[in-house]
Structure 1
Amino acid sequence: VVGAVVSITGVSSTVTSFGTTVRSDLVLQNENHMFLDISLWSDIARNLNGQELAVLGRSGPVMLAVCSLRVTGATKGGYSLTSTPGTRCVLNPVSEMAHLVQS
């Protein structure tokens, strides 16, 4: 559960294979000033860009199945969290959804 998205800083990189997009990395910032690097598989990456994700994020909870998720933030000592493949990423969660992502 990553909280409300404040801004989309853009696509950081795109991985291609034989001229076809395989994966795109998107960098988000949430309301707690944490940066979220999300890798989307090609079928999602082709149909979703940062602006659309920002609009979806403001409209309510959004769950994405991502191929990777890395969270970094600037706190005393710093921190970094990296997910495993197949992670479910929830933007703008509500309390009713919290139990869905605790496992």
Structure 2
Amino acid sequence: RIGVMYLGHMVEMGPGNDVYHRPLHPYTTALLSAIPIPDPDVAKAKSRIILEGEIPSPINPPAGCPFCTRCQKATERCHREMPQPIQVGTRMVACHLYER
């Protein structure tokens, strides 16, 4: 199992193969896109996610999701409410995108 944390919060957890090959949380996706690939031809075909925005203070975090200031998929709700961990198949993810 792999757990992914952002600013002290578990944002995704699940079987390693699932998390690595099919990440759910936007931070996990960005984190995995930053892994260097030694083969230049393969590396050219892979898109890397560049996170923009300010890293929130862990001492004074934002009201909503701790990743909302850097997330390309953030909604108004993300800025207001902390997402609760939910079960998605064999994994746990804390992201409003996966709530029903």
More helix by share: 2
TM-score (norm 2): 0.26
Tell me the TM-score normalised to structure 1 length.
Answer: 0.26
The structure with the greater share of residues assigned to strand is 1
